[in-house]
Structure 1
C-alpha cells in the first residue's frame, strides 16, 4: 500500500489506521500465536459497525486484500496476512445481557471473559470454550464447544441472531427468519460470509459449577483412556470431562512431587449439584489410583480463566485436530506413545466431548457437519522459545499422521492447522460444502473474505 492510499484510508475511517511506519505497528500486528510473524499493509482498529462498513467499502474499492481479527486466537494466524489490511475488532468488546429473555448480545471483538463476566452477574452462561482470552467471534463462527457443551450444545446451537457486514459493505441481521441461508452458514462455516459485528446468544442458568481435576501416571495411560472412552458417553449430560496428555505445571494446586512429570488426566465440569461431584467421581479409581485428584465448587468464570496464566499471548503454537466417533484400542496406543514424547512442558493433546446435547441437534440444522462425533481432538505443540518451533511442528504432524486413520476424516475447523490442504476444509464440511459454496456465491461472489479456511463461491444450478 502506498503512502497516499494509507492517508486516504485514515481520512475515510473513524478508527485509527496503523501503518508499518507507525510506532504502534509492532504491537498492533501481534496475535496470540507468536509462531505467526507477518506484516500487514495496515491495521484498522474499528470503533463500531459503521467503521467496519466503511473499511470494507474502502478495501473493496481499492482492490486491497483483507483479513479480520476478533480475539486474535487463530492457531494458523488467519487474521494476520502479509500486505493485507487487518480489520481489528478488538476494540468492540461490549456485552449486553437481557435477564428477562435470558439472552446476551456480544460485540464482534469480545472475548469469552467479557461474555462470562457479563452473564455471570445474572447467574447465566452459554457454552463457549475453555479459556477466557479466546475471541467470541472466531470460536462461534467455527461452531464452538466447551465445558457446557454436553449440557447445552455447541456455541452455534445457542446463537439466535447475528449482525453481519457483507462484502458489498451493506449490513444485515441473520436469524431463522431473516437471511436464514446466511444464518445457517454462519453456524460453523467460519469467517467466509461476512464480518459479524454482534452475536445474540441464548443463555442458561449456570452459576457455581462442580470442578475436578484427576491425573494419573503414564504407566496407567492405556487403562485410563479405555475407561474414559466407555465412562463419559454414558454419563449424564450435566457431567463434562475432557481428556488430556500433559506435563504437570510447577505450582499449585499440584503437589511438588508431581511437578514436571508427564501424565494423563481429565478436567471435569458438572452443572449438577456441585456438592455431589465428589460422589459422582468416586469411579476415578477404577482404571487405577490417581496421582492427583482435586474437586471444588467454582464460579463458572473462574473455571474459564483457570488456564489463562499458563497460556498467555506470545507462545509458539502449532496444532492439528480431528473428530472421533470412537477411540479404538489402536488409537489408544498412538496416544500413549506420543504422550511419552511430549516435546515441551506446555505441549498437550485434548479430547473434547461433543456428544450429549450437541449430538441431538439435526445433522443438517447448521453448517457444523459432525453431529455424530463424540470427541473433537486437538494436538498442540506449545513453547515460549522460537528455537523449538520446528520440534513442535514435527511432533504434532507425526502424531496427527499416526492418529488420523482412526478419525472420522474431518476436524473442527478452528483446529485445522497452518499449511493444511483445501481437501481438509472439504472433509470438515462433508456434504454441507456445496451448500456453503452456494451461500458464499450469494453473499461474497468475489471471495473478498478469503483469509480463512476458505469456501470458494460456486454458482448455484
Structure 2
C-alpha cells in the first residue's frame, strides 16, 4: 500500500528498498504496532508519521537520513520520546527512532562511558552505578539521555558536577548529508561546542561519551513537605540557605498539590503544599550538617530526607510522571528577590489542576563556574531556574492550562533577564529561541548550522535557522 505524505506518495517498492537496507525495522500506518511506535510520552502531541524507522545502529541512521533527504520528508528524531514540545514525532514525515540503540560501555579506570542515544537515564545509571560512577542525569529516570544532554541537562548533580552537557566529552553525529563525524575538543570543535546546549539542530547523535564521577551508591536525599501556610517562610529561609550551601548539595522547591501518597496524612491529600527536594552528592554522614537547616525551615508534614541508593533518588519522582498525560513546560532564569517570591507564591495559588506546579531549581556551584562561552549553554548566572508546569490527565481544558503556564512564566520572568531553559520552552517559536540564546551565541550557532545542516533538514527542535533559511 502506498503512503501519502505532505510531499507526495511513497510507493511500496520504495519503502521495501529502505527496509531491506536496515538491520532495524520500518513501521508504517496500518502495520501491527503502528500506534505503539508513534506514541510519545507527552500525549498533547498526537501525530501520525508516514514512517517510523526503528534503528539498530549508526548505519541504519545514515540510511534513514539519506532516505528522508531523497524523498524530501520532514524528519523527527526520537530518543526517549520525552520532548515537551513534541519534537520526537511529526505528521506525514519520518521518525528516526533511536530507542533500540541501548549500548553502553563503561571504563571505570578512565571514568568514562560511551553510550548510545536510545538509553534512558535509569538504564544508563544502572550501568555506571555498577562501578560507583554517575553523570548528571534527569529528575525522571525514563527521560532519554540524548535530548536531555543536547539541551543542557539539569539534575541532582548540577552543583557538584555541572550539567549533563558539561560532562559530554565527545559525540558521534550523522549529518544532514549522511556523513558520520566525531565531535570533541579537537575534532569538529565548533560542532562540539554547539552540541552542548544547542539541541538537535546539527544532526542525529548516535553516540555520547561522558565524563563520570564517583557518586553513591548511597546518597543523602529525598523530600521534606511543608504546608502551604508556611510557604513564604520556607522560601525565604531556603533563599538564605542556598547562598552558602556546599556544592555537594543541590535542592529544588516544588510548589504543588499533595498527591494521595501513604507517607502523607489523608487530610493533606489534594491540598497545596511546598516540597523541598534535594540530594547531597557526597558522604551521607557529612551531608547531615548541610541538610539539617532544611528540616528547620518550618514544621514539616513529612520528612523523607534520608540515606538511599543514588538510583532510588533518580527514580523517586517517576510514579508522578508517567506517560500519557498532556504536558506543557516553560521556564525562566530568575533572581529569587522578594518580588520574585511574591510572584511565585501568587501564581502557585492559581494552578488549574492538581498536577500543575511551579519549581525553583537551585543553580550555582560547578554549573556557574563553567565559562559562559565554553558551551552553547551560556546562562551561567548562579541564581534560580523557575520551571512552570501545566499537566492534565486528558485534553479537556488543556488550552486554558497552557495559557496559565504562559501567563505564570511571563509574570515570574520579569524578575530575571528573560532567558529560558531550552529543554523547557514548551513549543517551537522564534521568540523561544531568542529567549534561550543571547545574540552572540545564536549567531555562532547559525554558523555551525550553516556548516552541518544548511538546508535545515533538522528543524524539529528549538530551531537555529541556517543563513539560507533566514534570508
* Same fold by TM-score greater than 0.5: yes
Q: What residue is the counterpart of 2:329 in the other structure?
A: 319
2:34 matches 1:16? no
CA–CA distance in structure 2, aligned partners of residues 96 and 376 of structure 1: 33
CA contact (8 A) 1:348 1:379 kept: yes
Question: What whole-Å deviation, never above 9, does each CA across 1:398-421 have from its counterpart, x for those lacking one?
Answer: 2112212112211110000125x3
CA–CA distance in structure 2, aligned partners of residues 278 and 294 of structure 1: 13
Q: What residue is the counterpart of 1:301 in the other structure?
A: 311
1:284 to 294, 299, 315: 294
Q: CA deviation at 1:284?
A: 3.0
Q: What residue is the counterpart of 2:215 in the other structure?
A: 206
CA contact (8 A) 1:218 1:340 kept: no
CA–CA distance in structure 1, aligned partners of residues 21 and 282 of structure 2: 52
CA RMSD of aligned residues (A): 1.6
For structure 2, the 5+ residue unaligned runs are none
CA–CA distance in structure 2, aligned partners of residues 387 and 405 of structure 1: 30
For structure 1, the 5+ residue unaligned runs are none
**Aligned ranges 1:370-389 → 2 under 5 Å:** 370-389=379-398
2:355 matches 1:346? yes
CA contact (8 A) 1:6 1:19 kept: no
Question: What whole-Å deviation, never above 9, does each CA across 1:304-335 have from its counterpart, x for those lacking one?
Answer: 111112211111111111112x1121221111
CA–CA distance in structure 2, aligned partners of residues 42 and 354 of structure 1: 41
Q: What residue is the counterpart of 1:426 in the other structure?
A: 434
2:191 matches 1:182? yes
**Aligned ranges 1:150-189 → 2 under 5 Å:** 150-189=159-198
CA–CA distance in structure 2, aligned partners of residues 348 and 340 of structure 1: 10
2:238 matches 1:228? yes
1:239 to 241, 245, 249: 249
Q: CA deviation at 1:384?
A: 1.3
Residues 438 and 3 (structure 1 numbering): CA distance in 2 closer, same or farther, change over 3 Å?
closer
Q: What residue is the counterpart of 1:30 in the other structure?
A: 39
TM-score (norm 1): 0.96
- How many equivalent residue pairs? 458
CA–CA distance in structure 2, aligned partners of residues 168 and 285 of structure 1: 55
CA–CA distance in structure 1, aligned partners of residues 122 and 297 of structure 2: 35
**Aligned ranges 1:81-160 → 2 under 5 Å:** 81-160=90-169
Residues 169 and 285 (structure 1 numbering): CA distance in 2 closer, same or farther, change over 3 Å?
closer
CA contact (8 A) 1:94 1:114 kept: no
Structure 1 moving runs of 4+ over 4 Å: none
1:138 is paired with a residue whose SS is helix
2:261 matches 1:265? no
CA–CA distance in structure 1, aligned partners of residues 362 and 171 of structure 2: 26
